[in-house]
């Protein structure tokens, strides 16, 4: 009997053989091409906004390790050595170096991302990155990250190293959790380690210390704190407690602040304060209006004429007083009417002399008045919230 051949396996093997031969030919062609192609340019890509290392520093590393690259044949440039040299830098996490057929040397650098800055008890200053490795501070850039201070024994040597103490690992876990959560990243600005090696969180809003303890059951502790923020804080106020202890996973223990201490910290507005503020605002409004008129309009009239501009309001008071005895004495009525006619003539003269320019001062006065009314409403709103 004739054996049956598996033609599909034969064709598959033949295709693989052709592909392998093509790859070998392509590599040989590239090798020949590299012998003739020279380096025409060096492109350095540093993604991200945090620039711990600049392009000039990478150029200096390349020049120190490889010399001048422009104009050299590509086969004379050791790409793998450049990658190892760049990755030995304490601020670089990963480096990728490759060349194209146009002779361009491409270098992509990924920087290390710090998540917490450590100030230990000996005064040493360093970062911990998102991989849990220590890295030095930089004179080029200061990262806006969480700061940890207090009784921290972790030290930083001359090279990149892992964390050695449990406290440092707890600080790393806490900073990593806070960095991932947008709420806690905005609320917590510092971690202080006390003499009992308990971590205390310092918030941006509120004048209290949050005792966290260690990083065990961290997610549950922070969820308890979030519930406390939502339910208790709006009722008692943000200044009511001195410490909030969440180190125990099943309960929250708070220490109240003394009433005299709260009174010193909070300056409450009274009704008299509100009246004084209103009076001060109205006085400043009048002064600003007068000052703006003086600056915009040069004074051409004498001091007597300036007094006459505010006199027409006075006869109106006499008018109301005379109206009560209008039927008793007829001559007084005629005198008052004559005085009124004189005042109206004076008003008309004042209007004709300064008719165009007061429009601008009235608009400015209206804008300033609206601004002052907004300030008064804001103060009244603050006063009502404090009284509630």
pLDDT in tens, 57-95: 888 888 888 888 888 888 788 888 899 999 888 999 889
Residue 320: its pLDDT value, please?
40
What digits encode the pLDDT tens for the residues 235-288?
Answer: 888 888 899 999 988 889 998 887 665 555 545 545 555 566 566 666 666 556
What digits encode the pLDDT tens for the residues 206-244?
Answer: 888 999 999 999 999 999 999 999 988 888 888 888 999
Q: Which of 140-149, 285-294, 374-383 tops mean pLDDT?
A: 140-149
Residue 352: its pLDDT value, please?
46
Regarding pTM above 0.85, the answer is no
Which strand ranges, in their side-by-side order, compose the sheet holding 199-203? 134-136, 125-129, 114-119, 146-150, 188-193, 199-203, 209-213, 241-245, 253-256
CA neighbor of 40 nearest in space, from 92, 88, 100: 100
Residue 160: its pLDDT value, please?
84
What digits encode the pLDDT tens for the residues 13-67?
Answer: 778 888 887 777 666 655 555 567 888 888 988 887 667 888 888 888 888 888 8
Question: Which has more pLDDT, 309 or 273?
Answer: 273
Query: Per-residue confidence at 168, pLDDT binned at 50, 70, 90?
Result: very high
Residue 141: its pLDDT value, please?
87
Query: Per-residue confidence at 170, pLDDT binned at 50, 70, 90?
Result: very high
Residue 173, pLDDT above cutoff 90: yes
- Architecture per CATH, 35-111: Roll (3.10)
**Pairing label, strands 114-119, 146-150:** parallel
Residue 334: its pLDDT value, please?
40
CATH number of 114-265: 3.40.50
Query: Per-residue confidence at 300, pLDDT binned at 50, 70, 90?
Result: very low
Question: Which has more pLDDT, 366 or 106?
Answer: 106
Question: Which has more pLDDT, 260 or 188?
Answer: 188
Least confident of 97-101, 199-203, 293-297: 293-297
C-alpha distances in Å from residue 68, one per residue of 60, 62, 88, 111, 259: 10, 8, 20, 25, 72
Question: Which has more pLDDT, 124 or 364?
Answer: 124
Region 98-116: mean pLDDT is 89
Domain range annotation of the chain: 35-111, 114-265, 271-387
Question: Which has more pLDDT, 58 or 319?
Answer: 58
What is the average pLDDT value for the chain, to the nearest integer?
75
Residue 323: its pLDDT value, please?
41
* Backbone angles phi and psi of 148, in degrees to 5: -120, 125
Region 106-116: mean pLDDT is 92
Q: Which of 5-9, 170-174, 206-210 tops mean pLDDT?
A: 170-174
């Amino acid at each position: 009997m004739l054996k049956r051949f598996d033609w599909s396996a034969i064709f598959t093997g033949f295709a693989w053989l052709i592909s392998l031969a093509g790859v070998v030919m392509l590599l040989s062609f590239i090798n020949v091409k590299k012998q003739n192609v020279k380096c025409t340019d060096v492109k350095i890509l540093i993604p991200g906004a945090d620039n711990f290392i600049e392009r000039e520093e990478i150029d200096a590393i390349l020049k120190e390790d490889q010399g001048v690259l422009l104009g050299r044949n590509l086969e004379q440039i050791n790409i793998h050595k450049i990658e190892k040299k760049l990755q030995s830098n304490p601020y670089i996490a990963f480096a990728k170096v490759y060349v194209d057929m146009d002779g361009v040397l491409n270098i992509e650098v990924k920087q290390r991302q710090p998540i917490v800055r450590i100030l230990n008890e000996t005064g040493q200053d360093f970062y911990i990155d998102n991989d849990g490795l220590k890295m030095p501070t930089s004179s080029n850039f200061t990262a806006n990250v969480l700061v940890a201070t207090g009784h921290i024994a972790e030290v930083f040597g001359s090279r990149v190293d892992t964390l050695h103490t449990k406290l440092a690992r707890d600080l790393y876990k806490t900073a990593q959790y806070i960095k991932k959560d947008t709420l806690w990243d905005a609320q917590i600005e510092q971690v202080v380690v006390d003499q009992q090696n308990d971590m205390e969180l310092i918030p941006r809003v509120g004048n209290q210390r949050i005792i966290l303890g260690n990083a065990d059951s961290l997610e549950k502790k922070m969820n308890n704190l979030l519930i406390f923020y939502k339910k208790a804080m709006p009722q008692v106020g943000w200044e009511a407690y001195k410490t909030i202890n969440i180190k125990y996973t099943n309960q929250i223990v708070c220490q109240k602040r003394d009433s005299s201490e709260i009174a010193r910290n909070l300056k409450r507005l009274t009704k008299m304060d509100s009246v004084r503020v209103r009076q001060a605002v109205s006085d400043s409004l009048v002064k600003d209006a007068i000052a703006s008129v003086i600056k915009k309009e040069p004074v051409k009239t004498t001091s007597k004429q300036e007094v006459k501009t505010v006199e027409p309001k006075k006869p109106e008071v006499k008018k109301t007083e005379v109206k009560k005895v209008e039927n008793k004495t007829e001559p007084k009525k005629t005198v008052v009417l004559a005085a009124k006619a004189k005042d109206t003539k004076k008003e008309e003269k004042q209007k004709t002399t300064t008719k165009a320019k007061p429009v601008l001062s009235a608009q400015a006065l209206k804008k300033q008045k609206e601004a002052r009314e907004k300030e008064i409403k804001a103060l009244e709103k603050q006063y009502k919230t404090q009284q509630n």
